[in-house]
């Protein structure tokens, strides 16, 4: 917000307000108002709105001063007020040429009291100009004018520079075009101050005023906190978003890998189960002698090869079980043993056959375990045990 404060008398001010803002690479202005009192002003301006202030009116001395090359600010002030103390005044100087300057000067207490009034209403003043000569900075925007009338000043222009001025009683409102946008002559000084702050054409008097420096620091740190806070917030948001996306990505991969690991664990468990089952069955077959099909076939074939016609076999059990198989218990076999059951017409035929069996080199012994015959008319039941070497 740009504000021209026109000093009428002690504690009596009038104001011109122009809302100047920078949008991308252009400057825009609107909400032009005239305000007749400080009470109305502070009702219009919202708290914490940054203000670029320009002070004109009574108590502001404006002069055209002839200077020499080595004249500093103190010498220029003393040409206007010979006995003045530099620290008691605020000045603003614009060049006409090497030998002429336009000078605006005001007592510092007037400016500081006004700034304190703004600060009391929580409106920070971030830039201060004095006098009407800040219009110098916007002359290129005014479409080739040779003079500008603003409030009680007539500013004479040549080669886009104010070279002279005069006080005029003509305070009529004149419309000027600023980049084809109309603006009232009453608002030009405030508009120029706003442009000067946004574009920084020429250094203002802010550095001479302690309250302005404090406001600038507060404004700087407030912006630093604001934009730094947003930057940190955006940074951590992006960081969290990236972290979330990475987490989601790796979580999906982890779930897939976990599923595969579960499948592999299941297959390994099944493999171990089958492998143990295979070993158990292999052990069973090894102990039973069933793996050696040649020997089993040989035993069976040799036992029956010399069997007499008068003997019939009802059971041939090679490597029989020690006891009846029970659940959850490994089977045990009687190794190197053959049990034979059958029918014989009489004991003579059985004894003859036993003698033949005993002649086999692979048989260690043959024992008749049972021989039962109720009478000579019926065949006898027998049970033979053969031990193999």
Cβ atoms within 10 Å, residue 89:
23
pLDDT of residue 331: 67
CA distances from 289 to 256, 293, 296, 340 (A): 48, 8, 8, 17
Q: In what order do the strands lie in the sheet with 60-66?
A: 60-66, 100-107, 89-95
Tell me the sheet residues that pair with 248.
Answer: none
Assign domain 293-388 to its CATH architecture: 2-Layer Sandwich (3.30)
pLDDT of residue 365: 93
- The third-level CATH classification (topology) of the domain covering 2-208 is Nucleotidyltransferase; domain 5 (3.30.420)
Dihedral in degrees, nearest 10, Cα atoms 124, 127, 130, 136: -140
pLDDT of residue 207: 43
Residue-range domain boundaries for the chain: 2-208, 212-285, 293-388
CA distances from 206 to 14, 92, 123, 212 (A): 21, 10, 16, 6
**Locus of tokens 């991308």:** 24
Residue 294: strand, helix, or coil: helix
CA distance linking residue 330 with residue 283, whole number of Å: 10
pLDDT of residue 220: 66
Cβ atoms within 10 Å, residue 224:
11
pLDDT of residue 104: 92
**Locus of tokens 């008097």:** 205
pLDDT in tens, the chain (389 residues): 999 999 988 888 999 999 988 877 777 888 788 899 999 999 999 988 889 999 999 889 999 999 887 788 888 888 888 887 888 888 888 889 888 999 999 988 888 889 989 989 999 888 899 999 999 888 888 878 899 988 888 999 998 899 999 988 766 788 888 877 888 888 999 999 988 888 765 544 444 554 555 655 666 677 778 788 888 899 999 999 999 999 999 999 999 999 999 999 999 999 999 998 888 877 776 666 555 555 778 888 888 888 888 899 999 998 888 777 666 566 677 888 999 999 998 888 899 999 999 999 999 999 999 999 888 888 999 999 999 88
Q: What are phi and psi of 123, to 5 degrees?
A: -120, 105
pLDDT of residue 198: 83
């Amino acid at each position: 917000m740009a504000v021209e404060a026109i000093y009428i008398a002690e504690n009596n001010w009038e104001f011109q307000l122009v809302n100047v803002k920078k949008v991308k690479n252009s400057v825009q202005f609107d909400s032009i108002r005239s305000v007749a009192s400080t009470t109305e002003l502070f009702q219009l301006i919202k708290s914490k709105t940054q203000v670029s202030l320009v002070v004109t009116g009574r108590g502001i001395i404006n002069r055209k001063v002839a200077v020499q090359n080595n004249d500093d600010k103190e010498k220029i002030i003393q040409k206007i007020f010979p006995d003045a103390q530099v620290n008691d005044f605020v000045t603003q100087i614009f060049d006409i040429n090497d030998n002429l300057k336009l000078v605006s000067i005001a007592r510092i207490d007037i400016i500081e009291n006004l700034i304190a009034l703004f600060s009391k209403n929580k409106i920070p003043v971030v830039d201060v100009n004095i006098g009407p000569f800040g219009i110098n900075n916007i002359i290129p925007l005014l479409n080739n004018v040779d003079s500008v009338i603003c409030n009680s000043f007539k500013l004479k222009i040549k080669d886009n520079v104010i070279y002279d001025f005069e006080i005029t009683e003509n305070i009529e409102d004149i419309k000027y075009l600023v980049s084809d946008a109309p603006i009232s002559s009453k608002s030009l000084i405030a508009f120029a101050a706003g442009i000067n702050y946004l574009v920084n054409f020429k250094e203002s008097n802010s550095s001479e005023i302690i309250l302005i420096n404090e406001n600038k620091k507060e404004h700087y740190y407030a912006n630093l906190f604001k934009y730094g806070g947003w930057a940190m917030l955006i940074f951590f948001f992006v960081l969290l978003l990236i972290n979330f996306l990475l987490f989601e990505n790796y979580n999906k991969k982890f779930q897939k890998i976990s599923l595969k690991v579960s499948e592999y664990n299941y297959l390994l468990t099944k493999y171990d189960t089958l492998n143990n089952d295979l070993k158990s069955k292999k052990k069973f077959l090894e102990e039973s002698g069933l793996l050696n099909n040649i020997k089993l076939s040989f035993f069976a074939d040799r036992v029956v090869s010399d069997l007499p016609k008068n003997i019939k076999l009802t059971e041939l059990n090679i490597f029989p079980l020690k006891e009846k198989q029970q659940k959850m218990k490994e089977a045990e076999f009687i190794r190197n043993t053959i049990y034979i059951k059958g029918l014989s017409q009489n004991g003579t035929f059985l004894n003859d056959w036993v003698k033949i069996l005993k002649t086999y080199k692979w048989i260690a012994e043959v024992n008749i375990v049972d021989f039962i015959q109720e009478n000579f008319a019926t065949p006898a039941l027998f049970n033979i045990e053969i031990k193999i070497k």
